[in-house]
Amino acid sequence: MAQRENTSITVRVLKHDGSEYRRWHAQLARREGQLVVLDAEFDVDVSHEILGQIKRSTKTVEYYWLDRWYNVFRFLKEDGSTRLWYCNINTPPRFEDDTLSYIDLDIDVLVQPDFSFQVLDEDEFETNAEKYGYSDEEKTQAQFAVKELMTMIEHRHFPFVLEYSSVSSVVNS
């Protein structure tokens, strides 16, 4: 089934054993080739160890590539400008019917509006790699994904730009 813009999508984040870790609803904003862009809004207040309090109604633009081992969330301020980017390392997502799901591989990259960044949760990755038995391919792909994100950030490749007029003009960056 082909999805139309503004279709309601359920996002499911899974742990390596298949158990659901998080779930939320979003709107399909755009689908271009392997790129899926969702608009979402937090429906509950969330306390995050690094980000602090994320208030209900905080808006995000979420970028998922169906052939990449990461996704990128652009957190927005009330005026629509970028507050920060939060990148998750994960298996390539599956997008079936109206559900997008992926396995979280623990490592995250936090990117500030000045494009400074820090890699988070590498210790959690190591712990869970042993606990869940991550394959050699998963470990290799996770490390490659971090390096690819760092290059994208350093070179200001999409979606790491403050202002842009359209996804299609930069989707292949």
pLDDT tens sequence across 49-104:
777 667 777 899 999 999 999 999 999 988 988 999 999 999 999 999 899 999 99
Distance CA 134, CA 137 (A): 8
Q: So what's the pLDDT on residue 42?
A: 80
Band of residue 166 on the pLDDT scale cut at 50, 70, 90 = very low
The pLDDT of 161-169, averaged and rounded, is: 51
Q: Across all residues in the chain, what is the average pLDDT?
A: 88
- The listed CATH number (3.40.50.150, 3.40.50.300, 3.40.50.2030, 2.40.380.10) that belongs to domain 8-154: 2.40.380.10
Q: Where are the domains of the chain?
A: 8-154
What are the CB-based long-range contacts (under 8 Å, 24+) for 13-17? Answer: 13/90, 13/101, 13/102, 13/104, 14/101, 14/102, 14/103, 14/104, 15/103, 15/104, 15/128, 15/132, 16/103, 16/105, 16/128, 16/132, 16/133, 16/134, 17/132
